[in-house]
Amino acid sequence: MHQEARKYAAAGHTVVLIGHAGHEEVEGTLGEAPGQTVLVEDLQDVDNLQVDDPTRVSYLTQTTLAVDETTALIDALRNKFPGARGPDTADICYATTNRQAAVSEIAEHAQLIIVVGSANSSNSRRLVEIAIRSGTPAYLVDNADEVDPDWLNAVSVVGLTAGASAPPVLVDEVIARLGEFGPVEVVEYTVTRETIRFTLPPEVRRP
């Protein structure tokens, strides 16, 4: 994203960065071209946005944003500046996108959703927000000890997911914690399969 910010700024564009103030990814990108980059966090920011040349507007997105939020902001930006250009590839990382899609699906079937992840994790917080917007109560826990048994009153179906960087062992520990309050049947819900593979640079590959 930093390289794209420099590229758009070098072409004389106003770079509209969709994200949250204070996020380290956002702060780093703003520093690439501070005189030509403007942060928008919501639809009101887009509505208030003024640029020197409406024909030279580009946009980038914080990679850990909720996809539905990002889409709404991009649509509003393109409506205001029809020639606005975005990156050549999707700016939301695929692991984040897949988890968000899964939470949206699970929220239709679960009475409660627990997200395993750090409170400092933007993508984990987005998962909670997506579940709540879908009408399902959701909580973010850093570990199994934070699961509150009161959440489970009159709840028979719990959806469980994790932020992109949460170790799988933490999910297993939450399942074990839930088992302390009654029998647990684990059913994996598959929305998509991640088939992307990353190739190591030549200099670190084994001969």
Cα separation, 191 vs 38, in Å, equals: 35
For the record, the structure tokens of 13 come out as 């564009």
The answer to whether the CB of 9 falls within 8 A of the CB of 15 is yes
Taking only Cα atoms into account, the Rg of the chain, rounded to an integer number of angstroms, comes to 20
Please confirm, yes or no, whether 25 is among the known catalytic residues: yes
Give 42-109 as a DSSP string: SHHHHHH---S-TTSEEEEE-TTS-HHHHHHHHHHHHHHSTT-B--SS-SS-HHHHHHHHHHHHHTTT
Question: Which of these is catalytic: 4, 24, 25, 180?
Answer: 25
Give 123-140 as a DSSP string: HHHHHHHHHHHTT--EEE
Q: Which sequence positions are flagged as catalytic?
A: 25
